[in-house]
Chain A
């Protein structure tokens, strides 16, 4: 599976569920922007490692909204403590999707330790995340995204799609996202 295919599925699922979507730095945000731009997407441009944390704070602040996070193996390895925090403090409206391509895809595809066998699914379970799944087929991913798993680890191929730079400024990304995140009326189906 290509990463952009999983990102497209996640974006479609987020829209169908009226979910807020936090997207990791680098190509993942650009791929999301190219397949389905929504004001409910927060494109992270810096602060590598913190996508899962941003989503966690947001999910706690807005417990009535589903919050999905698109993260990567390199980024999760940079902030491994996040798995323990999520295990014990994430509310039910929080869902972390780790797109594991075994490399730092935005900096030249240097291998991460998942290429050598480090198992992020096992780490999530060991951290105490009970509702975690490991998926590598499209049908499994679509099902997991629609459910209430806390963490989904999706194995994807190495490689970035040819996609444009995000055309919004950081201030514009934040302004439109915060407006959606603070709105009491979600654009789609809200989660009970």
Chain B
């Protein structure tokens, strides 16, 4: 549990999405995103579309942005690899903004060995693609999420907010 006067990790991200004006979300679940996905699913101001694969979510979010929405894609970092071509040859090619909220598995405390390789590759992959990434503590997460969307919208690019296992301890 987080400190009683602080929002939980989940709430901090949700409040950041609201502050950014996010009104459209596509998602592929991670266990650490389950409470956030429930909040978004119950928010009448956010259209939420569960996707079958993360790359599909990139396409859905791009279309929503063309129609005037502010889109976010919620996923696990394992799905980032599934998105690489779409992020490059759709979002980056045309100049389409996207806020990616990524549960970053495979770091310290990870119980599932299969998460480790992609966990290590996540930041290098984002760096190689020239995608800005933010790794907030829960205390700054609301502001960071809002800021990340502002960067995406100003530059017409995807940006990533990475939330590791430590981040979710106060969910």
Contact = CB atoms under 8 A, between A and B. Distances in A.
Interface of A: 22, 42, 44-62, 79, 81-82, 84-85, 89, 170-171, 173-174, 177-178, 181-182
A85 B56 contact: yes
Nearest to B85: A47
5 contacts: A57-B63, A58-B63, A58-B64, A61-B69, A174-B94
Contacts of B86: 47, 50
Interface of B: 24, 26, 47, 49-53, 55-69, 71, 85-86, 88-90, 93-96
B49 A174 contact: no
B47 A60 contact: yes
B95 A170 contact: yes
Contacts of A62: 67-68
Helix, strand, loop or mixed for chain B's interface?
Answer: helix
A61 B89 contact: no
A60 B95 contact: no
Given A42-B66, A170-B94, A178-B66, A57 B60 contact: yes
Given A170-B93, A171-B94, A181 B66 contact: yes
Contacts of B55: 49-50, 79
8 A-B pairs with least C-beta separation: A46-B89, A61-B67, A81-B52, A57-B63, A53-B59, A50-B59, A58-B63, A47-B90
Q: A54, A81, A82: which has the most chain B beta carbons within 10 Å?
A: A54
A62 B63 CA distance: 10
A53 B60 contact: yes
* Chain A binding surface, main DSSP class: helix
A171 B67 contact: no
A140 B47 CA distance: 34
Contacts of B63: 22, 53-61
B27 to A, nearest CB: 12
A46 B90 contact: yes
B127 to A, nearest CB: 21
A45 B68 contact: no
Given A57-B26, A171-B94, 16 more contacts: A44-B90, A45-B89, A46-B85, A46-B90, A50-B58, A50-B59, A51-B59, A54-B60, A60-B49, A61-B63, A61-B64, A81-B53, A85-B60, A174-B96, A181-B68, A182-B66
Nearest to B64: A57
Contacts of A45: 89, 93
A181 B67 contact: yes
A174 B24 contact: no
B59 A57 contact: yes
A82 B93 contact: no
Nearest to B62: A54
Given A57-B49, A61-B47, A47 B64 contact: no
